[in-house]
Amino acid sequence: MTIKPTIAISHLGCEKNRIDTEHMLGLLVEAGYGVDANEDLADYVIVNTCSFIEAARQESVRTLVELAEADKRL
């Protein structure tokens, strides 16, 4: 039996993104992945965001840089 990694999702953006995030989480759990709300404890972090608004783009880039600097797998 292969142990699958633990995934955290960093949700940034609107309610549409939240629905997409919840859908992704459900699919990951069905596929046997561990899910953790704590990004520090997860093996991988998925960043679900949008880039329609300049402030959202800046927040996305800042989040990705912070996670990369923390050596998280994205």
CATH number for the domain that contains residue 39: 3.40.50.12160
Q: Is residue 42 part of a domain?
A: yes
Per-residue pLDDT of the chain (74 residues; tens, 9 = 90+): 668 899 999 888 777 788 888 999 999 999 999 999 898 899 999 988 877 778 778 888 898 899 889 888 87
Q: Does the pTM of the predicted model rise above 0.85?
A: no
51 domain residue, yes or no? yes
pLDDT of residue 15: 74
Let me know the angle formed at the C-alpha of 15 by 9 and 21, rounded to the nearest 5 degrees.
25
Q: How many domains does the chain have?
A: 1
Q: Is residue 74 part of a domain?
A: no
CA proximity to 27, closest of 46, 14, 50: 46
Confidence (pLDDT) at 28: 93
